[in-house]
Amino acid sequence: MTDQIALPFAWPAEEDERDFIISDANEAAVRHLEHWSLWPVMATILTGPRKSGRSLLGRIFAAKTGGRFIDEAEDQDEERLFHAWNAAQADRKPLLLAADLPPAKWRIRLPDLRSRLLASPIVAIEEPDEKLMGALIEKLIQARGLAARPEVVRYVQLRIERSYIAIGRIVDALDEAALARRRPITLPVAREALATMGVTEDTYRLL
């Protein structure tokens, strides 16, 4: 399933929430954040690929709950994380830490921080499913002031790897190809854009 964001928090949607699209790739993480009051500790680790919307989701979560969001947590000062985790428990305000990988794979020097992070729930945003890929490609194209017919979007999404990075790259390439040709994003423009990424006409990604 893929929907324009209707985050289940019981508040009106803000403008930036409309930029987040819920699908099977991230729904479990969204539902977990919805029920933050039931967390066993007032902290959760959110993992997921870069460009997956995890930072946007974290900012929305912090704004809605009054909690705190720390991005790229694995690269932050350990004392800062330690005190933030303890403060979340004392204040009963949720702490959300976003990272590429779960804490077990971080290089943590402070034993007390490691034990706290390993006791915290972990939720993940997965690589995009097919419907999310199509929705993101279309949305990013529209954000450039361009348009592409559904069959063109489908054509390119079946020929790139299933990743958020690849989605960003193909939209950049489509934008550049359309600008160079001074025409809408058509199949010939899409083929040219794919060629700049090293993708040939014969390439077809199996679902």
- Closest by CA to 29, choosing from 50, 3, 51, 8, is 8
Q: Residue 177: how many CA atoms within 13 Å on its side-chain side?
A: 22
Q: Whole-number mean pLDDT of the chain?
A: 89
pLDDT in tens, 66-78: 999 999 999 999 9
- Is the pTM here over 0.95, yes or no? no
- CB–CB of 125/49 below 8 Å? yes
pLDDT in tens, 28-58: 999 999 999 999 999 999 999 989 999 999 9
Residue 162 pLDDT > 80: yes
CB-neighbour burial class of residue 139 (10 A; exposed 0-12, middle 13-18, buried 19+) = middle
Q: Please state whether beta strands 43-47 and 95-99 pair in parallel, antiparallel, or not at all (unpaired).
A: parallel
Q: Please state whether beta strands 2-4 and 21-23 pair in parallel, antiparallel, or not at all (unpaired).
A: antiparallel
